[in-house]
Every structure is written in structure tokens, then in C-alpha cells.
Amino acid sequence: MQHAWIDGGPAPFDAAIERAAQLLQASRLPLFAGLDTDVAGVRAAIALAERTGGVVDHMDSDAMLRDIAVMREAGMMVTVPSEACLRADCVLVVGDALAADPAVRERLLGSGAARQVYWLCPGRGAGQKDAAAVKRVGRDPRELPALLAALRARLAGRPIGPAPLPLKQIDALAAELRGARFGVAVWAAAQLDAVVIEMLCGLVADLNASTRFTGLPLADPAARAVIEVCGWMTGFPVRTGFNRGYPEHDPWTYDAVRLVESGESDCAVWIASTRDAAPPWQRNVPTIALVGDEEAVPQAAVRIAVGRPGRDHDAVTGYDNAGTLVAVPASAPSARPPVATVLAAIAAATNGGAWPC
Amino acid sequence: MLTCISGGRVIDPANGRDGIGDLWFEDGRIVPPPQGRQADARYDGRGKIVMAGGIDIHSHIAGSNVNTARLLLPEQHRAAAPRPAATPLSNAGWSTFQTGCLYAAMGFTTVVEPAVAPHYALHAHLELADIPIIDKAMLVVLGNDDFLLRLLRDREDGAAVRDYVAWVVQASRALGVKAINPGGAAAFKENVRSLSLDDVVPSYGVSSRQITKALQRAVTDLGIPHPLHVHCNNLGLAGNADTAAATIAAAEGLPLHLAHLQFYGYGTEGKRRFSSAAARLAEAVNATPHVTVDVGQVMFGQTVTISSDVLRQFNARGQGRPRKWLIFDGDANGGGVVPYQYKAEGYYGALQWAVGLELFLLIDDPWRVFFTTDHPNGAPFTSYPDILALLMDRELRAEWIARMPPAAMEMTTLPAITRCYTLNEVATMTRAAPARLLGLKDRGHLGPGAVADIAVYTEQKDVAQMFRAASLVFKDGELVVRDGDVLHYRWGKALTVRPSSDPAMMRRIAPYYADRYGVAPDLFAVPAEAIGRADPFEQVPCAA
């Protein structure tokens, strides 16, 4: 079975590995992006980036770093879906948060959920029918900053100016939230900006003066797992570069798209083992594509069809309901090489040999 | 390869040894002096102290709460050191790689992560596996979990609790059990804002004392060598010496370990109503031979508090500096990460510093008081050498005391204490005693058959420097550190116990998980193949 291509043409696996190693070693600033892979895969990517003085970034970084920015600049109270679903008597969904996670949507809003749900500015999420009593408050997500600010002010008993909703409605919602026994605010950073998230987290913190309230940021569990691995290996989340010999984190400097478009990065390893996603940049850059869809990134200098975690091979990845890492056995084992195996082979083919970790 | 360290002062309290002599090891184990064989490798031990590798029983080095702290405080661990060729990522601040190297440089060879929630065990073991050099272990957290609280609410007998605890310990690959403010996290979810030993978790009607006793009994009955390791209620609060004393008394003849006792060493005297009660607590510890404690010493500077005592961390969040924090209402214990600064010029920090030292110096038996800073909660573990110096050098201690606010020192007995730790006592407290407490018969000592985990220090007046950069460190007989520098990576094992559990318990746990989580319990298992290292685990026997 063909797993490797060089410049679009079928090639032996070892030749593709050699070519990839050559490209990386010749590169001034290699980029390891996409990072849609399992724990072993991201470990190997970080190891290789460290070896080659490269950069690691995940395709969901923009959104995930919003939550991280709010946490590390202001603080946050959070829970996990299982706890929220078990305990919440009041749920405050903010923006179109549940689009990406039908499972959580079903458990939070589905039949049998004995809780009051308020949905602020649902936008397109308004369309679906839910069994639970969902009160939609506001409509346009662009009103969220003003609406959250007004709500937070009224919770603290402060006067407000013109707001997206009448004062009475805002006060009523504030009273409902204050009356919750265990409330959960739900959001997805992909739909909001950091300032809105910070305001929401501040609102949640304020509510804890008198009752129990917490937050549930939703994100792809596999992407979350990547952040965890990067955290323990480098001390930092993704958008971290090793070009100076030590890990440095900067969301602007080490943005994959910016690095490629500016020409700073001259070689990219694009890792997309489960998602049908092409590199998000426009500029042509020599690319080593490790892809679950073997037809993806046809323009890549080196393309390798990799196994999908938990399907072609055993994997450790994120489990959303508990917000933790779990081992998933291969449901349909195949000969496709895992990302970790491919990257380890490339590392072994570079001057430094196998990474000692 | 037969190796000899010759002519060093070998301090091995477990075997009653303290004198100049040779130490022989081969194939990763200490061996008796061989007859008629020459050493293949010889190290000059003259002017050196030779001890077993250090064992740290309570240090937050791995797991999701530790990782959260990394992400919360990037500005506090910026890297700058050049790329180390032999030990990549050991220059990454607060990384697992750096952690292992820093411990090894100080001659520590086994470290225990004291707080891992059962469902986060795989994550914790993956982090532990990325800590180089040292062997490690973790304690699994129970005491706020719904399954246990239901068993107690329903007045199930000890057998059910025992089987459940055995299953959790096995499944999570733990070395022992930790209880953290038992009932506190569960109560906090019900808007309870404080919990003492005899307070009840409302929806279960079960007290913290009942939870503690049930876990203590289970751990003892299962033959798990390490006693139940308890983080008491009311951490950090003035007057909480009462809580610690009550918990010590609650041991009732069975082994019990109290964590970071310093954080419970506070009375309410003086105009600030915050004083040292260390003398009283030390007396209680001295009088209760089945209780052990670790100190949780405070040292000054910026640090971060990482704890699964979510109730405490929530209540303390306003005192954090810088002013940001994460509070996590997890399944069962959860956690909180709150940055903190201890200031030598401030009354409270100075008093806390003194309380820790009082506990070290007033608890008589170095086999029962353990050397920790509750890293990073009291101070980073890199401050260990400075603390040892303070314990061993009375004049140095006096210099520090002279710089502290007198008002704080007056509320402690520290200025009057003249005791100095001897090297023998240090070796007991940091090697022999921890090995015994954890049930590790093959380490913490240098008798034949012991693992060749050896720390060699250069004898010098500057005790802190002596312990900061070991002259030589051997791990399983392989040289890993020379003059404080790690030479190359090698990978230790995670030590675990596997108490036996009645299979009938699985027939209860499986439907419970299906109903509560919609998954099978083995979703949270820790398969050895998932760890990505050869033979990542080593089993420690339970008592029969």
C-alpha cells in the first residue's frame, strides 16, 4: 500500500523520510503546524522542532489562545462537561457555543435535563430545537460585549446606560443567575473574542460571592491535549519557537500563518491526521504533509499518509467529557504509520540522530 | 561493571553506618566488598559525603493542576539558557525535563507527586514518564468522590470501601492514597464555604472525619505500606493548629501521615491574631508514634500554590500575587492554582517560615518528620539546599532571624532553639525514613542489595552549596551527575502498589460509570503501552 509521495509521485517510505529530513535540515526556520495528532505525535513534533530550531503551532491556536490569554491575564473558574451535566441547575450559554459539540449540547440541553438554560445571543445556534426550557436572550452576537457588561454591572448593583436589552430584562436575568445553586456558563472561544471571554469569566467570578457558578469553555479535546503536552514539555502552550535554542512563546511571533506569509518560515510540516484541513496560508512553502486524507495537500514536497489515532493505531488523546487524556485502542488497525513513527524516523535521519527523550 | 567509591564518609542510618569506608556496586545494586576482584571503575571519595539518593515524598511535579500552573504563569519561567546538547529541553523552565535534572543535580533519585485525581492518572503518568533520571510515584486522591461518599452515606461496611479503594489504587497505578480536605470540594459545590473535621457534606450527611477514618482503615487493611496521606481541613487559617491536633488524635492508633504541617501551625495570639502553634503541634507529633508528618517549609520569594483543595484555593484567591488564578470544580477534588509571594519583611511570611523550622527542630524523631516544601506551595524544591543549611547551621539561622520582623519572631519559639541537624539526621530524614514510609525496602539505604542510587557530596562549610550541586550522582549504578551537571538522560520507573480487590466491586463500579459518565471504567486506565517507555512501572509489595 502506498503511503509516501515525493513531489506528488509515489516514493518508497524511506526515501520520503530522507527527503523530509533534508528539507528540514536545510530550513532556516521550520514550522510544525496543524498538529492534528495524538499525544505521541505532538511529543515527536515538539522534539523535532526542538532539534531543528523550529516552531510549533496548532490549527486551532487562535481560538484556544483566547481562553489561555484570559486565564493567564485575569483568571478563570472552570469545570468539565460531566460535572456541568450532572450538577447544573442553571446554564448560561454564551454565543454560538454548542455548534461544534452535539454530544455536550444533547447532555446539557437534551430531554431529562432538569435545568433552566439561558442562551445569550445564540446567532445561528438559535435554529435548532432543544428539549430543555431554553430562554433565548438577545440575538446578535455582536451585542454580547455590551450585554455581558450590563449584566455584570447590574449583578453588582451598579447603574447602566443604554444596553442591548431593557433594564428590566437584564435585571431579571441577573436575578435568575444569582438564584442558581450551581450555575455553569458555557462558551466556545472560537465564537468569541478574548475581551468577551474575560467579561464572562468576571461575571462568573462575581456570582461566586453568594452562590456557586463556574465556567465551561468548549474546545476540541484533541487540540486541548496538544496544549497539555506542549505545556509539560516546554512550559508553554503552542506558538512556541526554538529558534534561539530555548523555547519561547509568543502568540504573534509564532503564528504559523504569519510566519509563512512573511517568509520567515521556509519549510512547513503540516500535520492533519483526522481533519480534512489544508494549510491555512496562501504562500508557497516547501511542505512535508502528514495527512490522514492521502489526497490532501497534493502540492506537498513530501506527503505521507498517516494513521488516524484511535482508528489505525492505538493512541492517547483528549476525552472531552472529563477534560483529560485517555488511551484509545485502534478500532481498525492498519499499516499506516502513526505521525509519531514518521517524525521519529525523520529525526533519526537528521544529523542529531534519534532524540534522547 | 564493578564500581567502588573509596574513602568517603558513608552515612547510611538505616544500616547504622557512619564512617570512612568504601561503597561497592555492580549491575545497579549495592554489593558487599568483593573478595579478590578489582573495581572496573573507581571514584575517589576522600573529602566526600556518600549517601543514598534522596527521596522526596511530597512534591507537585506532574499532572493537570501542575500543568495549569505552567500555563498560568509563562512570565515566571522564561527560558534563556543555551540548548543543552545531551539533555534537550532541560533548559525549558518548569518543564518535566528540567524538573528531573534539577532534582538529580541535588542528589535526589525518587520523588512522589502527592495529588492525582483518578481520572487524570494517565495524564500524570505521561508527565512523570517525561521526568528524566529519577524514579517517581504518585498518590491518588480520594475523599471527595461521589462513589465513596455514597458508600459512607449508605453506611456500607469497610469491605466495600476497601475494595473500592483497592480498585482505584490499582487502576490509577498509585503508590498510596491521598485525602485532601475530605468532603471540602464536594461541600463547596453545595456552596459550603468552610469545612472542619466534624462538619458534614450536606447532601451526603457524612463528615470529614468519617471520610478520613474510612480511608485510613481501608489503606491499613489493604496493606498499602504508605499510610493514608492527609491534607487536613482549614489549611492556612489562623487557629488551625486545633484542626491538625484533632486530626493527629483521630489517627487512633493506626498509621496516618499529615501533609505540610507548617500550613496548620497557626494559633490566634497577638494583636494580629496569627501566631505560631508549632511547639504545641510538635509535642503532639512527638507523643503520637504512629503519626508522621512532612513540614511544607516556606521560603521567600515568588511562587505558585497548586492544590486540589479547591475550597481553600477559592477562599485564598484574593491573597494571590500576581492577581490571577484558576479554580477548577472538577469531578471530585478539582483544584486551584493561585500565585503567591512570601515576603521576609512581612509579618505573615516570616511567621510561616519560622513555624516550619520550629517543626523540624522541635519534632525529635528524624524518622517521623519529612523534608518538604510542598513544592511549589511553600517554596520551589530548588530551595532545599538552603533549608538544610538553616537546619544544620545555628549561626546562619540566627542571621536570618535577625533580619525578620521582630514582631513575628516574638510569636514563635524559633530564636531560642539551639538544635542543629547532623548529617546523620539529614540522611535519615531525606533517605532512610522516606523509603520506610513508602514501603521501599530496596532504597534509602546503602546495604547490599539496595538499588545503587547514590549521592556523593563534597564536604564543605557552605552546606547549601554542598547539597545544591552533588559531586556525583548514580542512578541504578549509572553515573548521571558530575559536579551538579546532568550528563545524559536515562529514564526511571513509576513505583506502584497493586492491592487486591474483590472482583464483585467491578460489578458495582461498571454500571455506576455507565450511568454517571456513559463510559466503561477502563476508559481511565493507565496501560503500560500508552506510556511510551520500556517497562515504565515497578511494583512495590503490599504487606500480606
Write out the three cell numbers for B138: 504518585
* Structural element, H or E, at residue B215: helix B208-221
Structure confidence by residue, pLDDT tens digits, B324-373: 999 999 999 999 999 999 999 999 999 999 999 999 999 999 999 999 99
The residues, any chain, with a CB within 8 Å of residue B289's CB and separated by 6 or more, are: B368
Chain A residues touching residue B122 (CB < 8 angstroms): 316, 324-327
Strand partners, A272: A36, A291
Averaged pLDDT of chain B: 97
Alpha-carbon A121 to chain mean position? 22
pLDDT over 60 (residue B56): yes
| CB contact at 8 A, A189 and A200 | no
Query: Residue A241 to residues A251, B97, B179, B448: CA-CA distances in angstroms?
Result: 10, 17, 40, 48
The pLDDT score that the predictor gives to residue B27 is 98
Judge whether B346 and B405 are in contact, CB under 8 Å.
yes
Q: Which residue has the cell 485517555?
A: A326
Contact B119 A212 (CB under 8 A): no
pLDDT recorded at residue B397:
98
The verdict on A69 touching B (C-beta cutoff 8 Å) is: no
- Contact present, B104 and B486 (Cβ < 8 Å): yes
Collect all residues of chain A within an 8 Å Cβ-Cβ radius of residue B316: none
- pLDDT tens digits along A64-93: 999 999 999 999 999 999 999 999 999 999
| Residue whose C-alpha is closest to residue B281's, from B369, B376, B350 | B369
Q: Which residue out of A73, A211, A232, A238 would a mutagenesis test of the B interface target, given it has the greatest number of B Cβ atoms within 10 Å?
A: A232
**Distance, CA of B128 to CA of B173 (rounded, Å):** 12
Q: Please give the DSSP secondary-structure letter assigned to residue B261.
A: G
Nearest Cα residue in chain A from B323: A74
Asked whether the ipTM of the predicted complex exceeds the cut of 0.95, the reply is: yes
Shortest distance, CA B505 to any CA of chain A (angstroms)? 22
- The secondary structure of chain A, three-state, reads CCCEEECCEECCHHHHHHHHHHHHHHCCCEEEEEEECCHHHHHHHHHHHHHHCCEECCCCHHHHHHHHHHHHHCCEEEECHHHHHHHCCEEEEECCCCCCCHHHHHHHHCCCCCCEEEEECCHHHHHCCCCCCEEEECCCHHHHHHHHHHHHHHHCCCCCCCCCCCHHHHHHHHHHHHCCCEEEEEEEHHHCCHHHHHHHHHHHHHHCCCCEEEEEEECCHHHHHHHHHHHHHHCCCCCEECCCCCCEECCCCCCHHHHHHCCCCCEEEEEECCCCCCCCCCCCCCEEEEECCCCCCCCCCEEEECCCECCCECEEEEEHHHCEEEEECCCCCCCCCCHHHHHHHHHHHCCCCCCCC
Question: Best interface-test mutation with A: which of B66, B70, B116 has the largest number of A CBs within 10 A?
Answer: B70
Q: Are B123 and A71 within 8 A, CB to CB?
A: no
3-state secondary structure of B176: strand
* pLDDT classification of A133: cutoffs 50, 70, 90: confident
Other beta carbons within 10 angstroms of residue B539's beta carbon come to 11
For the stretch B60-78, pLDDT in tens is 999 999 999 999 999 999 9
Q: How far is CA B266 from CA B234, B320, B411, in A?
A: 11, 19, 10
Give the DSSP letter of residue B463: H
Contact call for B331 and A87, based on CB within 8 A: no
CA distances for B501 relative to B115, B159, B467, B498, B527, angstroms? 22, 10, 43, 9, 18
Question: What distance in Å separates the CA atoms of residue B473 and residue A356, rounded to the nearest whole number?
Answer: 20
3-state SS assignment for residue B495: strand
**What single DSSP character describes residue B204?**
T
Query: Based on the number of CB atoms within 10 Å of its own CB, is B508 exposed (0-12), middle (13-18) or buried (19 or more)?
Result: middle
pLDDT band of A117, cuts 50, 70, 90: very high
d(CA B93, CA B69): 12
Average pLDDT over every residue of A55-71: 98
Start-to-end C-alpha separation, chain A: 31
For residue B187, the chain A residue with the least C-alpha distance is A212
> What local confidence, expressed as pLDDT, does residue A102 receive?
80
Q: Do B189 and A74 touch (CB under 8 A)?
A: no
Of the CA atoms within 13 Å of residue B208, those in its CB half-sphere come to 26
Map residue B446 onto helix, strand or coil: coil
Q: Give the C-alpha separation, A113 to A86, whole Å.
A: 9
H/E stretch holding B432? none
Residue B239: what pLDDT?
A: 98
Element (H, E) at B36: none
Angle, CA B296 vertex, CA B175 and CA B342 arms, to 5°: 140
CB B129, CB B531: distance < 8 Å: yes
A79 touches B: beta carbon within 8 Å: yes
Q: Nearest-CA neighbor of B226 among B252, B254, B193? A: B254
Residue A130 has pLDDT above 70, yes or no: no
Cis peptide, bond prior to residue A298, ω within 30 of zero: no
Gap between the Cα atoms of B490 and B94, Å rounded: 19
Q: How far apart are CA B111 and CA B524, in angstroms?
A: 24
Q: With beta carbons less than 8 A apart as the criterion, state whether A186 and A92 touch.
A: yes
One DSSP character per residue, B386-416 reads HHHHHHH-HHHHHHHHHHS-HHHHTTSSGGG
User: In this structure, which amino acid lies at residue A82?
Assistant: S
Task: Taking residues B466-480, report their average pLDDT.
Answer: 98
For helices B278-286 and B347-362, the axis angle rounded to 10 degrees is 20
Q: What is the DSSP string of B127-154?
A: HHHTS-SSEEEEEEEESS-HHHHHHHHT
Let me know: does B261 contact B292? Beta carbons within 8 Å.
Answer: no
Q: How confident is the model at residue A111 (pLDDT cuts 50, 70, 90)?
A: low
Angle at B172 (CA atoms; ends B170, B175), nearest 5 degrees: 70
How many Cβ contacts (< 8 angstroms) between chains A and B?
165
Minimal-distance CA residue of chain A relative to B336: A77
Q: Do B94 and A74 touch (CB under 8 A)?
A: no
For residues B218 and B161, the answer to whether their CB atoms sit within 8 Å is yes
In Å, how far is B268's CA from the nearest CA of chain A?
26
Q: For residue B301, which phi and psi values (nearest 5 degrees)? A: 130, -170
For testing contact with chain A, the best of B60, B94, B123 (most A CBs within 10 A): B123
Rounded CA gap, A291 and B431, in Å?
Answer: 50
pLDDT over 70 (residue B125): yes
For B239-279, write each residue's pLDDT tens digit: 999 999 999 999 999 999 999 999 999 999 999 999 999 99
pLDDT in tens, B185-219: 999 999 999 999 999 999 999 999 999 999 999 99
Q: Write the residue in B67, B326, B529 that is nearest to A71 by C-beta.
A: B326
3-state secondary structure of B279: helix
Cβ contacts of B20 within 8 Å, gap of 6 or more: B7, B8, B9, B10
